[in-house]
């Protein structure tokens, strides 16, 4: 995912960690992600994907991937990435719980990595004393 350009939506401190939430363009076509079959009750498609695509092309809708990263001292210890988000404004993910779900996953990974690194640094300190 290093070839993507990420737009930062949020950066804040949570305890000893820095949390960053950002988005980038989604390279999947909405036609591959939404049900275009016909609703038997209405006779219309469940989703008007053609209109969605037009709205995305005209910048009326944001179609993106979302990433949450958890950093400590500038080092990434955890991340979570999910794609296929469609919003009028991508910043809505910061208020509807979507970003919090990704942050939670990234934070769990970061805390686990912090424990592993703490143990390894403690061993390294003992090894350095022995030298």
Closest CA to 63 of 96, 108, 35, 93: 93
Closest CA to 78 of 114, 31, 29, 44: 114
Confidence of residue 9 (pLDDT cuts 50, 70, 90): very high
pLDDT of residue 124: 80
Positive or negative, the Cα torsion across 110, 114, 117, 119?
negative
pLDDT of residue 122: 82
Confidence of residue 68 (pLDDT cuts 50, 70, 90): very high
pLDDT at 14 over 60: yes
- The torsion angle over the Cα atoms of residues 55, 26, 11 and 102, rounded to 10 degrees, is 110
Residues 42, 81: contact at Cβ < 8 Å?
no
pLDDT at 91 over 90: yes
Whose structure tokens read 């404004």? 89
pLDDT at 131 over 60: no
């Amino acid at each position: 995912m290093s070839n993507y350009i990420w737009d930062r939506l949020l950066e804040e401190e949570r305890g000893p960690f820095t949390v960053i939430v950002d988005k980038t363009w989604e390279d999947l076509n909405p036609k591959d992600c939404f049900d275009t079959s016909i609703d038997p009750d209405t006779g219309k498609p469940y989703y008007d994907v053609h209109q969605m695509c037009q709205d995305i092309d005209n910048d009326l809708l944001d179609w993106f991937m979302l990433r949450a990263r958890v950093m400590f001292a500038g080092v990434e210890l955890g991340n979570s990435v999910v794609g296929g988000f469609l919003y009028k404004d991508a910043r809505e993910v910061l208020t509807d719980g979507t970003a919090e779900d990704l942050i939670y996953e990234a934070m769990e990974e970061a805390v686990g990595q912090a424990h592993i690194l703490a143990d390894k640094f403690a061993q390294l300190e003992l090894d350095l004393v022995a030298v």
